[in-house]
Chain A
Amino acid sequence: MFKKGLFILVMLMFTASVFAASAKNTIQIKGSDTMVNLSQAWAERYMQENPGDFVAITGGGSGTGISALISGTCDITNASRIIKEKEIALAKQRGINPYEIKVGLDGLAVVVNPDNPVSKLTIDQLAQIFTGKIANWKEAGGVDAKIVLLSREVNSGTHVYFKEHVLRKNDPNSKEEFSPGALMLSSSQAIADEVAGNPAAIGYYGMGYISKKQKPIFVAKDEKSEYEAPTIENVVNGKYPISRPLLLYTNGAPQGLVKKFVDFVLSSEGQDIVLLTDFVPVQK
């Protein structure tokens, strides 16, 4: 009898703490690491203008955010990739209806160490490098050294986008994969640091992370096209071949507090913040 009482008491304590987490004037945003800084900037300005409302932001990766939307633990998901069919099906099963809002664009930069003589590559060469078919810099116009591949972990929207649009060249039937020898690093910053210290390394990340310690590669669609640098201008006019949408997902069309926040994001003020954080706005 006593044992049972204790058990129920413990269970009650757990449930109470779970329900205590949600409050009425709070928006929970979760998802893409690429977009964390951007949404933080949005949230700060939004909270300044709407005192009393509270916006909480967590990273973890686009997949993490979408899982959270499906399990109902966040109001808005930041995603740097489009939601998968499978995820939509899972969401529907649980009565969640993902609604997509495009809020910006991001150019994906491919970076090498500044000491690396290679400065331009085609998409095809990139695919061969990251799948391991080209394993030495010699074969890509560089010095005789083994290529060190750096990739984000599989929970990253950047990882998925790079695989689908560079390795598989948008072909849904392609079975290309990252070389199993690719190092999986857990953040864009970790890739930036490793590239800065390793002349044989090549990595990729959102162009907001480029600094003087890394050299962005000029990329061309194929051998006949121009090699273009990952700049905001080239992403806007579509010349730079590796760019992707930045998205928000909500459960159904946004309403109430969530709508207020999304409207702010799409306003000229919100879109100015997109530009300030080195991404590309969608609305002028």
Chain B
Amino acid sequence: MRKFKEFVIEKLILICGIASIFFVILIFLFLLKEGLSVFGTVSPFNFLFGKSWYPISEPPQLGILPLILGSLLVTLGAAIISIPIGVGCAVYIAEVAPGRIKEILKSGIELLAAIPSVVLGFIGMVTLVPLVKNIFHLPTGLTALSGSIMLAFMAMPTIVSIAEDALYSVPKTYKEGALALGATHWQTIWRVILPAASSGILAAIMLGIGRVIGETMAVMMITGNAAVMPNSILAPVRTLTATIAAEMGEAVVGSEHYFALFAVGIVLFVISFIVNVTADLFLHKKQ
């Protein structure tokens, strides 16, 4: 009887373990099945590098280059803002801050991660967008920059908490050795601890970026959603995610537009997959 119980529990856990992989495979197969049909109407090259996105015209123009570049631009901007601040914050928490402040900072960052993205988007819309418009004297504040700033807030908690873990896992002996050799605190952090934790920090950055690429609601609310080839971070852009969210409700099931949106989903899936695999490689290198 005990053996049987053991057996059932073991198998149940096995099913739980396999389930996640199983679901990922199912989702990917479904994406492929629905998305690949679009290449009957448009060639993969024209789909990826076409410059016009007019999905409901006759015939539809399904070029997603502006959307890919829009997503990349917003992500790049968010990375430039969030990486220095995030890593700096992690170093401060892990190495410099005294006990009380450390606790306050950590819970503050956890709180930041708990804000729903639609709330951040709404706050961005009423505060950041007019600010960006006035500072840069732009015709409109709904720009890639506004999106980048808001997304940087979303990437920060991920970057800080994982980078902080990486810094903690640097063996204490490294730090003690450096200090014993007469290095200052800053020299120890910059020359010894950061290089030792570098793969973990890179993984933190990649995971933060992965979060930014997949974010939908906030970017849809504050980047203007104009499917134009972006030529400046101060211009409106339309991202891959916002396109799917805004148009999926309308697309007639089985139309080219519907398939094209699934193909956009494949592109998005591939991008996040690459980002996550890269992060994983860095994490394993560390071990």
| Total contacting residues, chain B, CB less than 8 A | 33
**Chain B 137-149 interface mask (CB, 8 Å, partner A; 1/0):** 0011010000000
Q: Is the CB of B247 within 8 A of A154?
A: yes
Q: Is the CB of A183 within 8 A of B224?
A: yes
Given A70-B253, A200-B139, the answer on whether A184 and B15 have CB atoms closer than 8 Å is: no
Indicate if A48 sits at the interface (CB-CB under 8 A).
no
A72 to chain B, nearest CB (A): 11
Instruction: Say which residue of B11, B139, B142, B238 sits within 8 Å of A2 (CB atoms).
Output: B11
Indicate if A181 sits at the interface (CB-CB under 8 A).
yes
Indicate if A71 sits at the interface (CB-CB under 8 A).
yes
Q: Which of B53-61, B102-110, B160-168, B205-213 contacts A (4 or more CB under 8 A)?
A: B53-61
Given A6-B15, A182-B226, the answer on whether A155 and B250 have CB atoms closer than 8 Å is: yes
Chain A residues whose C-beta falls within 8 Å of the C-beta of B15 in the assembled complex? 3, 6
Q: Which residue of A lies closest to B242 (CB)?
A: A184
Indicate if A92 sits at the interface (CB-CB under 8 A).
no
Compute how far the CA of A124 lies from the CA of B182 in the bound complex, rounded to whole angstroms: 78
Q: Is the CB of A180 within 8 A of B246?
A: no
Instruction: Say which residue of B52, B55, B250 sits within 8 Å of A61 (CB atoms).
Output: B250
Q: Which residue of B lies closest to A91 (CB)?
A: B252
What is the predominant secondary structure among interface residues of chain B facing chain A? loop
* A window 174-197: CB within 8 A of B: 175, 177, 180-186, 194, 197
| Total contacting residues, chain A, CB less than 8 A | 36
* B window 129-143: CB within 8 A of A: 130, 133, 139-140, 142
Q: Which residue of A lies closest to B229 (CB)?
A: A180
Chain A residues whose C-beta falls within 8 Å of the C-beta of B41 in the assembled complex? none
Q: Is the CB of B252 within 8 A of A184?
A: no
Residues of A within 8 A of B (CB): 2-3, 6, 60-61, 63-64, 66-67, 70-71, 86-87, 90, 145-148, 153-155, 160, 175, 177, 180-186, 194, 197-198, 200-201
Ordered by A's residue number, 9 sampled pairs between the chains whose C-beta atoms are within 8 Å are A60-B250, A63-B56, A71-B253, A86-B252, A153-B225, A160-B56, A177-B52, A183-B224, A198-B140
A sample of 11 more A-B contacts (CB under 8 A), given A67-B252, A146-B139, A154-B247, is A63-B251, A64-B250, A67-B249, A67-B250, A70-B252, A154-B246, A180-B228, A180-B229, A186-B246, A194-B140, A197-B130
The 6 closest A-B pairs by CB, nearest first: A155-B250, A63-B250, A184-B225, A180-B228, A183-B224, A64-B249
